Amino acid sequence: MSMTIRVIIDILLAIGVFFTLVGVLGIIRMPDVFGRLQASTCIPSLGNIFLIAGGIVYAIATNVTEPGTYVKLAVILLMVLLTNPISGHALCKAAYKMGALPKSKMVIDDYKEDDPE
């Protein structure tokens, strides 16, 4: 494996770790449940994209001939990209229905319009 490929892999992994770390810090620093859910779903999704991209580049650079490796990495990426936004939305809606409100006043309240009560 050449030095250029190693640098590319290291950069991809460093970016992924950075976004994941920022997501963790966001969970700690955000004042309400909605901000914490935003920090725990969107930012780590971006971190996972870069981490998996680093894994794919590493697999290509080391001449992994097993096609299952690429399929597994692609499935993991697809599942993260599909489930994180859906679970974040479901958790936000559940928190809203349980009475958790954001610290600041909401400009648009689409959940209230959807509520039949």
For residue 113, is it within any domain?
no
112 occurs within a structural domain: no
- Section 85-101 average pLDDT: 85
pLDDT of 107 over the 80 cut:
no
Query: What domain count does the chain have?
Result: 1
What local confidence, expressed as pLDDT, does residue 31 receive? 86
**Model pLDDT for residues 16-46, shown as the tens digit of each residue:** 999 999 989 988 998 888 888 888 888 888 8
Q: Is 14 a domain residue?
A: yes
Cα–Cα separations (whole angstroms), residue 68 to 23, 75, 77? 30, 10, 14
* 21 within some domain: yes
Give the C-alpha separation, 21 to 117, whole Å.
40
What is the model's pTM?
A: 0.78
Position 11 scores a pLDDT of 96
Structural domain of 39? 3-101
CB distance 48 to 16 below 8 Å: yes
* Confidence label for 96 from pLDDT (cuts 50, 70 and 90): confident
